[in-house]
């Protein structure tokens, strides 16, 4: 099985023009409920620039319908006309320069914030999805109370706005991501290792404090949204993102849509069971995949097998680095720890393949620095445990992004919701 590794900084995530799924696939009946103006706007945003004729062809509607809808979108300040450059291979023509449609970046701002144990990150985007400001600051090693996390998010948003001269009245919505079991529809953090209490109505609490619409979601879902909006997932209809850091997370895109499940708790790969009555997971149950693959699992194994103490010599981060260096140097015990974790990971990835049949599986997160977790043996074990039919196992890619990619996914969540609220509701455009 081939595996591709892509190491990137957050700046390279915008090399493509536009943002959002390049070829959104709608289910039967969607066209009846999604106004044409929203479909046109999303097509323009995805391609960066688009002519009216091209929009009509992509959406399968008449040019006259596109002209009427785009006239309204321009008048409302969501689209603007720009001089179009000839596409590659197209000859230039004399006369009036061709005109294309583009998203008006001045239509409003959205912010995305990711709260984490190692680093908090925040980003400010304009309405076209371009980055205006970003912030990264040290994370929270200890769980926080709801007032503490509210104050932290308030501070991150203030830092973003101070870089640009904007104020909160320019912000249309804020997306927030954090690890754990998150019910995004209700805005509730049912459980998170970063919160001292369970079932916190975090979304409404933040909205009241910031006086802005706030959407929250699991951080793995938001990394998946970042891939769908800004990364390699833009042109893939069905793919999974598996994150390996202080926990094991997963996001799943089916038919170009993020899948969350009935309660928003779907695709919790890290908490699928791989060993009955096995190792204790930080969620309180036993035998979870995370309890064999995540940071704290590797530190636990190193402490047991090698008699290393995480409280000495720089904590768990230093233990992990030392473990990796020892494995690379040929230490048998260190290598066996990674090999064991890799076998459990292979089992989890094979289950993802057998359940959802994705075209692509993206491995991401801080622990992708440990190549033992995606070594040839791991991929071979995954292939052996994957249903053998007429097609090969899913393609596996390794994406190593910086801290800001998570915040970009949170901002995409906000931008997606604002688009639906502003362009999808009957009469919304008239009220804008």
Would 7 be classed as within a structural domain?
Answer: no
Query: Residue 67 has what pLDDT?
Result: 95
Would 9 be classed as within a structural domain?
Answer: no
Would 11 be classed as within a structural domain?
Answer: no
- What is the number of helices (H) and of strands (E) in the chain? 14, 15
How many CB atoms within 10 Å of residue 347? 20
Q: Please identify which residue in the block is written with the tokens 């926080």.
A: 144
Q: Are residues 96 and 178 in the same domain?
A: no
With contact defined as beta carbons under 8 Å apart, do 410 and 217 qualify?
Answer: yes
Among candidate residues 416, 422, 426, 351, the one with its CA nearest the CA of residue 184: 416
Which of 105, 128, 149 terminates a domain? The answer is 105
Buried b (16+ CB within 10 A) or exposed e, 308-318: bebeeeeebee
Which of 57, 78, 105 terminates a domain? The answer is 105
What is the spatial distance between Cα 271 and Cα 261, in angstroms, rounded to a whole number?
15
Among candidate residues 181, 361, 167, the one with its CA nearest the CA of residue 284: 181
Query: Residue 305 has what pLDDT?
Result: 75
Would 1 be classed as within a structural domain?
Answer: no
| Three-class secondary structure of residue 319 per DSSP | helix
Among candidate residues 38, 87, 11, 142, the one with its CA nearest the CA of residue 417: 38
Total count of domains within the chain: 3
Q: State the Cα torsion 11-13-18-23 to the nearest 10°.
A: 180
Q: Are residues 262 and 371 in the same domain?
A: yes
Q: Are residues 35 and 132 in the same domain?
A: no
Q: Are residues 179 and 137 in the same domain?
A: yes
Q: Are residues 101 and 112 in the same domain?
A: no
Is 0.85 surpassed by the pTM of this model? yes
Domain housing 163: 107-224+405-431
Would 5 be classed as within a structural domain?
Answer: no
Would 12 be classed as within a structural domain?
Answer: no
Would 415 be classed as within a structural domain?
Answer: yes
CATH number of 116's domain: 3.30.420.40
Q: Are residues 281 and 304 in the same domain?
A: yes
Which of 84, 105, 126 terminates a domain? The answer is 105
Model confidence over 200-223: pLDDT tens digits?
999 999 999 999 999 999 999 999
HSE at residue 60, side-chain half, CA atoms within 13 A, is 1
Q: Are residues 324 and 299 in the same domain?
A: yes
CATH number of 54's domain: 1.10.10.10
With contact defined as beta carbons under 8 Å apart, do 361 and 352 qualify?
Answer: yes
Query: Residue 428 has what pLDDT?
Result: 62
Query: Residue 6 has what pLDDT?
Result: 42
Query: Residue 367 has what pLDDT?
Result: 80
Q: Are residues 31 and 122 in the same domain?
A: no
Q: How deeply is 367 buried, as exposed, middle or buried, from its count of CB atoms within 10 A (0-12, 13-18, 19+)?
A: buried
With contact defined as beta carbons under 8 Å apart, do 27 and 255 qualify?
Answer: yes
Q: Are residues 122 and 68 in the same domain?
A: no
With contact defined as beta carbons under 8 Å apart, do 181 and 266 qualify?
Answer: no
Q: Are residues 216 and 198 in the same domain?
A: yes
Q: Are residues 35 and 146 in the same domain?
A: no
Q: Which regions in the chain score pLDDT beneath 50?
A: 2, 4-16, 27-28, 88-90
Query: Residue 7 has what pLDDT?
Result: 39
SS3 of 92-152: the string is CCCCCCCEEEEECHHHCEEEEEECCCCEEEEEEEECCCCEEEEEEEECCCCCECHHHHHHH
Q: Are residues 89 and 179 in the same domain?
A: no
Would 134 be classed as within a structural domain?
Answer: yes
């Amino acid at each position: 099985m081939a595996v591709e590794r892509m190491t990137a900084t957050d700046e390279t995530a915008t090399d493509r023009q536009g943002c959002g799924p390049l070829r959104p696939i709608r289910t039967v009946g969607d066209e009846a409920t999604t106004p044409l103006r929203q479909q046109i706007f999303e097509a323009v945003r995805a391609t960066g620039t688009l002519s009216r004729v091209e929009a009509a062809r992509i959406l399968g509607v008449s040019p006259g319908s596109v002209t009427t809808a785009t006239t309204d979108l321009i008048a409302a300040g969501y689209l603007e006309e720009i001089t179009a450059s000839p596409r590659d291979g197209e000859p230039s023509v004399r006369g009036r320069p061709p005109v294309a449609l583009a998203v008006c970046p001045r239509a409003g701002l959205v912010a995305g914030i990711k709260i984490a144990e190692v680093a908090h990150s925040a980003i400010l985007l304009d309405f076209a999805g371009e980055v205006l400001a970003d912030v990264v600051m040290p994370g929270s090693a200890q769980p926080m109370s709801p007032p503490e996390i509210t104050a932290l998010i308030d501070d991150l948003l203030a830092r973003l706005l101070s870089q640009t001269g904007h104020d909160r009245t320019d912000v249309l919505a804020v997306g927030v991501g954090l690890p754990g079991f998150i019910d995004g529809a209700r805005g509730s953090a049912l459980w998170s290792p970063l919160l001292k209490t369970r079932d916190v109505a975090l979304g409404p609490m933040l909205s009241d404090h910031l006086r802005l619409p706030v959407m929250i979601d699991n951080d793995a879902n938001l990394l998946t949204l970042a891939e769908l909006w800004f990364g390699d997932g833009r042109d893939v209809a069905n793919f999974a993102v598996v994150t390996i850091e202080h926990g094991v997370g997963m996001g799943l895109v089916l038919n170009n849509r993020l899948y969350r499940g009935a309660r928003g708790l779907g695709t919790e790969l890290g908490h699928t069971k791989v060993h009955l009555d096995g190792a204790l997971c930080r969620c309180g149950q036993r035998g979870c995949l995370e309890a064999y693959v995540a940071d704290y699992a590797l530190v636990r194994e190193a402490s047991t097998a090698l008699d290393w103490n995480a409280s000495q010599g720089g904590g768990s981060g230093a233990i992990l680095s030392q473990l990796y260096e020892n494995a690379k140097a040929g230490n048998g015990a260190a290598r066996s720890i990674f090999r064991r974790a890799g076998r459990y990971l292979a089992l989890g990835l094979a289950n993802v393949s057998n359940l959802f049949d994705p075209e692509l599986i993206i491995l991401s997160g801080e622990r992708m620095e440990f190549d033992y977790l995606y070594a040839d043996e791991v991929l071979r074990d995954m292939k052996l445990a994957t249903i053998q039919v007429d097609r090969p196992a899913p393609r596996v890619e390794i994406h190593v992004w910086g801290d800001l990619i998570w915040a970009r996914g949170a901002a995409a969540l906000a931008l997606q919701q604002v688009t639906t609220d502003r362009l999808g509701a009957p009469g919304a455009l008239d009220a804008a």
